[in-house]
Amino acid sequence: RTMQEWKAYVDASDVVGRSRGRPVLMYCTGGVRCERASAYLQSRGVAGDLFQLSGGIHRYQERFGNDGFFRGRCYVFDPRMAVGAPGEASPSIVG
């Protein structure tokens, strides 16, 4: 997906309205898209309670593995398609 598609989704689905007054935690791979996404949400009025996972989800998984709070796998933009915590078996992709 592109950033423009994400912005359209945010605007069309009232993410901002539903997020007002509630804490928002974003987790990304730790790249520039996360920075752009949080800046966009801030420009739309989600400000005080907007948090990002420092270093992204990959660093979190490296640090905590399966002992952390995150469960699941993350989509990646390479032939692996998805990655889990270090040492976890490669996920099977359906679809």
Which residues are catalytic, by number?
28
Torsion sign (Cα): 43, 37, 32, 86: positive
User: Which DSSP helix (H) or strand (E) runs through 52?
Assistant: strand 50-52
Residue 19's nearest CA partner among 46, 40, 43 is 46
